[in-house]
Copies of this chain bind each other. A is one copy, B any other.
Amino acid sequence: MAVQTTDSKIPRDRANDYTREMAAGRREFLEQRTGVALEHVAEHSFDPAIAQGNIENFIGVAQVPLGVAGPLLVNGEHAQGEFYVPLATAEGTLVASYNRGMRLLREAGGVTTTVMADKMQRAPAFIFESARDARDFGQWLDEHFDEIKQMAESTTRAGRLVDIEKYSASKILFCRFNYTTGDAAGQNLTGKATAVACEWIRANYPKLQHYFLESNFATDKKSSQINMLRTRGKRVVAEATIPEELVKEIMHAETELLWRARLVSNLGGFISGANNNGAHSANGITAIFIATGQDVANVAESSAAFNYGELLDSGDLYFSVTIPSLIVATYGGGTGLATQRECLELMGCYGKGKVMKFAEIIAAAVLCGELSLGSAIVAEEWVKAHDLFGRNRP
C-alpha cells in the first residue's frame, strides 16, 4: 500500500537492533504507515539475536509450509541409506510428486550419487592499457600463484585457492579465482579472500590500470554457460537404472514412451536455449534450499541441469541428472537458524563435514523428481494430479 512520504525512515537502533521489541516497533511503524497489521509475521519461535548476520530491519518471519518426502534411498559416497527430505514450498503436488519418485527409485534399488567437482569462485576483471599488457599479466599471475594463494587464504580458515582460470577479451583479463570452501557455500569467503589478493596484486603489478572485483564471470545469482561448463559449487551426478515393470506399476507409464518424450525434450531444450534439458529440478532444489537455510537466490545457477538417459535393450531405463552448479552449505549463512537447522539435522546434514553428503541427497531427490514429472507427462496424469492436490488454484 502506498504511504505518505513524511517521516518514512524505517526505525533502527544499532545497539538493540535484533530484539523482539525492535521487531515489534518496526511492525508498528509499518502498520501506522500502511494500515496493515503484521500478526502472523510476528510469530517466530526464535530469538531475533540469532538472525543477526542474516537479515537487516528484522520484522519477523515468513512461514513457508513444510512437507516431507521419502524415504529417499541414496547410494552415495557421503550419503548412504534412507533419508526424509524436508521441502518448503507453497506449490501443491510438489511434495507428492517427489515422494512418488522416491518410492520408484527406492524400489529400484536407490540412487547412486557422485560429487564430480567442487569449486566456488570470485571473478575479478583486470584492465590494462592494451591486450598485450593483459596477456603479460596472465603469465605473471601464473608465476606468482603461490604468493596470491597465500594472500587470499590469509583471510579464511575454510577457503583454499585451487587455481585461477583466465579469459581474455580486449585489454581485459577476466579471471576466475576457484576455491574450495569447506562446508560453507563460500560466496562471501571467496569475495573477501579475492579482494585481499587483488589489493596485493594492485600493489605489486604497477601496469594494472584498474580492477573490478566482479564482472559477470563468476556468475553469481545468474545462470551461465560458463558455470554449466566449469562448475560453481558442487557438480553432482545422480543416476539409476529403473526396471520397466516398476515404471509401469508405480508410474503408470512405459519406459519407451518416457524415453521418446526425453528425446523431444532434449531437442526442445537445445533449440529454446535452456539451461536445463530436464523437467523441473528447480522445484526440488528450491524447496530444499528454503527449508535448510541456503541462499535461495542461487536457484538461478543451481537450476541448471543436464538429463541423460539410455533405453536398454531389456526395456529398462538408465537415467541420470547432472547438476553442474549446486551451491550448498551445511555451515554458516542461514543454516544455523531455528527451523533451518532442524531440517538439516533431519537428514544428518548440519554442521562441518556434511556438505558433500547434503549435495548428494539433493541430487538424488532431484533425480526422483525428474522421473516423477517425466512419467506424469507421458502418463497424462499431470493435469489430473494438479486437480487432485492443487485445490486452491484460480
B62:A64 contact, CB within 8 angstroms: yes
Q: Mark A1-44, 1 if CB is under 8 A from B, else 0.
A: 11111001010000000000000001000100110111111011
Q: What chain B residues lie within 8 Å of A250 (beta carbons)?
A: none
Q: What chain B residues lie within 8 Å of A245 (beta carbons)?
A: none
In the bound assembly, the distance between CA atoms of A158 and B394 in angstroms comes to 7
Q: What chain B residues lie within 8 Å of A172 (beta carbons)?
A: 264, 267, 308
A168:B216 contact, CB within 8 angstroms: no
B43, B84, B220, B222: the one within 8 Å of A43 (CB): B43
Does residue A54 face the partner (Cβ distance < 8 Å to B)? yes
Closest B residue by C-beta to A168: B116
Q: What chain B residues lie within 8 Å of A60 (beta carbons)?
A: 66, 339
A54:B90 contact, CB within 8 angstroms: yes
Most buried by B among A38, A62, A298, A308: A62
Q: What chain B residues lie within 8 Å of A37 (beta carbons)?
A: 342
Does residue A244 face the partner (Cβ distance < 8 Å to B)? no
Q: What chain B residues lie within 8 Å of A62 (beta carbons)?
A: 63-64, 66, 86, 88, 290-291, 339-340, 343
Does residue A286 face the partner (Cβ distance < 8 Å to B)? yes
Q: What chain B residues lie within 8 Å of A95 (beta carbons)?
A: 55-57
Q: Mark A70-88, 1 if CB is under 8 A from B, else 0.
A: 1101000101111110111
Minimum CB–CB distance for A245 against chain B, Å: 19
Interface residues of A in 258-283 (CB under 8 A from B): 260-261, 263-277, 279-283
In the bound assembly, the distance between CA atoms of A337 and B167 in angstroms comes to 36
If A66-B60, A130-B114, A332-B393 touch, does A280 touch B220 (CB 8 Å cutoff)? yes
Does residue A96 face the partner (Cβ distance < 8 Å to B)? yes
Q: What chain B residues lie within 8 Å of A299 (beta carbons)?
A: 282, 286, 296-297, 299-300, 303
Minimum CB–CB distance for A39 against chain B, Å: 7
A66:B61 contact, CB within 8 angstroms: yes
A215:B264 contact, CB within 8 angstroms: yes
Q: What chain B residues lie within 8 Å of A55 (beta carbons)?
A: 65-67, 87, 89-90, 92, 94-95
If A44-B63, A195-B383 touch, does A216 touch B93 (CB 8 Å cutoff)? no
If A99-B57, A130-B112 touch, does A297 touch B52 (CB 8 Å cutoff)? no
B223:A274 contact, CB within 8 angstroms: yes
Minimum CB–CB distance for A214 against chain B, Å: 6
B308:A169 contact, CB within 8 angstroms: yes
A394:B157 contact, CB within 8 angstroms: yes
Q: Mark A147-167, 1 if CB is under 8 A from B, else 0.
A: 000000000111000000001
Does residue A372 face the partner (Cβ distance < 8 Å to B)? no
A270:B263 contact, CB within 8 angstroms: no
18 A-B contacts, Cβ less than 8 Å apart? A1-B83, A2-B83, A34-B348, A43-B44, A56-B93, A62-B64, A131-B237, A156-B394, A169-B306, A191-B386, A213-B382, A216-B277, A224-B269, A229-B229, A270-B270, A270-B277, A282-B298, A336-B392
Please name 5 further chain A to chain B contacts, defined as beta carbons within 8 Å, in addition to the given A89-B297, A170-B322, sorted by A numbering.
A3-B83, A56-B95, A169-B324, A221-B281, A223-B223
The 5 A-B pairs at the shortest CB distance, nearest first, are namely A90-B334, A2-B81, A225-B273, A1-B348, A216-B268
